[in-house]
A and B are shown apart, each in its own frame.
Chain A
Amino acid sequence: MGAISALLLTKEKWPEFLGKISGKQLFAPKRQGDRVYLAPLKEGELPDFDFQNTLVPPKALVFPQTETLYRYRLGETEMKEPAIEGEAVLLGVRPCDGRAMQLVERLFCWDVDDPYYLKRRALVTVVGLACSEPGLNCFCSSVGGGPASTEGLDLLMTDLGESFLLEPLTDKGRALLAEAGELLAEAPPEAVAQKEQIAAEAAARIKRSVDTAGIPEGLPRLWNDPLWQRHAAACLGCGTCTYLCPTCHCFDIQDEAEGTEARRLRVWDSCMFEEYTRHASGHNPRPTRRERTRNRISHKYSYYVQKFGIIACVGCGRCVNLCPVNIDLVEILRQVKEAL
């Protein structure tokens, strides 16, 4: 396929475009009450693009909250791996969440490949949707992203009002567009310029920011700083900030049986839970929420950087928006910076 740079799809052709995507399950933003979720799109249904971000990040579709590692029957020793198959298109993924998938992949490939994650990741085509209106607590541009960043995406869509600008980024993205070739027109330079402007205006409207310079190296020095106690004092240990964080990847492994049918599975876990690090002796290296909050932030802003060379936060703002007691990562980082 030649180098397609950008294509234009007028909005009247949008339903028809969706109909052309064949052989792959479509997931797209859908509204349920005041929340938007990435959910299976039924035939004839249209995605709801009037949202800032989905409640649950798209990580849930490549790293399911509960995932069977293998099945077995009680009393027997044969273990059967589940078939991981079925291609999917994730439509309307925000650029921060696309970056998050790319970022977490470094860990899932580190030294030993994680076959479950990598198989699922290979089966999805990620169609990004550039942001035109950043959310209240978005700060992607402070951590290497932006309203139209393309890392981790196969295709980037931008809403130009009357039409969508489609920029394929990978072979998967190009293949998706090839299915609907006759509906698309080459984008004129003005359309590309319009997209650049939308992205620049969105970036200018981002209200929150973090100056990360010095934080990865400096955080370990603040080990005993009173700021951790101050911020963790109100924490309920509910785990929301980690379950719904697109870069959080921690899991537990458990066995589950129903009758004689059983499976060993992995399930999301959270470093904000007390049992997470508790030894069988009862000793806990992170006994209180102070240590757990410190670990959550140090992991993202220092440990991951030391190990994988990149901050493990994409600035999506979910942990800030959704914390029931308003614990605010951006404010903590500001105080970290101040204390350095």
Chain B
Amino acid sequence: MCNGNPYLPYTATIVETWYETGGERPVKTFKVTLDDAAARESWSHRPGQCAMVGLLGVGESMFCISCSPTEGDFLRFSVMRAGKVTSALHQLEAGDKITVRGPYGNSFPLEEWEGKRILTVGGGIGQAPLRPIVEFVRANRDKYAGLTVIYGARSCGDLCFKGELEALAKEGDIECHLSVDVGEEGWPHYVGFVPSLLMEVNPSPENTIAVTCGPPIMIRFVLENLKKLGFADEQIYTTLENRMKCGLGKCGRCNAGHLYVCKDGPVFSYAVLKDVPEAFA
């Protein structure tokens, strides 16, 4: 928060950018640092939190912070080109300035999960909020019983963090299962939808926490399948991405029923969400 005004953002400089995916709606990752030394000092975020990223003259949009604080003193955003702000962001390169305010929302209760196996189930750009969990658990590997990553996208070219995940798969210590909806020449992994891959992998619910994020339709089927596999509601978490403008519980638009996703969320356990009628609308 600048000058005690929560609407006033910090300025930040892009240090590196790269494309995660191509196609009609490419995803570009931005690695940024806050310009002000005091701001860098006071900033702290946790996996699952998000931030409002803006471009002066264009506007602001909410993104999850797609890196874990264990990775270093920078922020990462992985941005899919969707409309006005995201298209303008995609024009930017290293050295360009953006605005950042946050971090907003609650976070994954990673301390509570210590001693357990963590299973992430992601689809498309939905891997962005899950990536910090993967990185956090890797950095604290001895505190967790294991890590399984299930991730899929429409096609090979739509997979975010692909190189990184393939390297993880080779590491062996971490289970990583990738999929694409439509098969293509040379694709060595699963072909089909993420919820089916989940059934194929058939993870045991024993001492496991499952976290899922992706398109609403995928989330719905993943939840159904997790229940089939025997996961209890309390073992399942998801993060919601309702449209947001303030991140501060004021602008009113992010609500799912009585919950303000920007403040009460974006991370929720299914035990809470299953009774919120609008949560999976």
Binding site for B on A (CB under 8 A): 69-70, 72, 74, 76-77, 79, 81, 107-108, 110-116, 220, 223, 249-255, 257, 262, 264, 266, 269, 271, 276-281, 283, 285-286, 291, 295, 298-299, 302-303, 306-307
Contacts and interface: CB of A to CB of B under 8 A. Distances in A.
A219 to B, nearest CB: 10
Contacts of A111: 248-249, 263
Contacts, number: 120
B252 interface: yes
Q: Which one of A112, A116, A252 has the greatest number of beta carbons of chain B within 10 Å?
A: A112
B246 to A, nearest CB: 7
A320 B63 CA distance: 39
Q: Which one of B7, B9, B58, B60 has the greatest number of beta carbons of chain A within 10 Å?
A: B7
A112 B6 contact: yes
B255 A262 contact: no
A303 B251 contact: no
B59 to A, nearest CB: 5
A257 B3 CA distance: 24
B212 interface: no
Given A255-B58, A277-B243, A285-B256, A220 B250 contact: no
B243 A276 contact: yes
B256 A302 contact: no
Interface of B: 3-9, 11, 35, 54, 56-60, 80, 82-83, 86, 97, 99, 215-216, 241-243, 245-246, 248-253, 255-258, 260, 263, 277-278, 281
A5 to B, nearest CB: 37
A110 B263 CA distance: 10
A246 to B, nearest CB: 15
A257 B55 CA distance: 13
A87 B9 CA distance: 28
Contact of A77 (B97, B256, B260): B97
A77 B39 CA distance: 15
Contacts of A266: 251
A250 B257 CA distance: 15
A29 to B, nearest CB: 28
Nearest to B12: A77
Contacts of B83: 280
Contacts of A302: 258
Given A277-B242, A283-B215, A249 B252 contact: yes
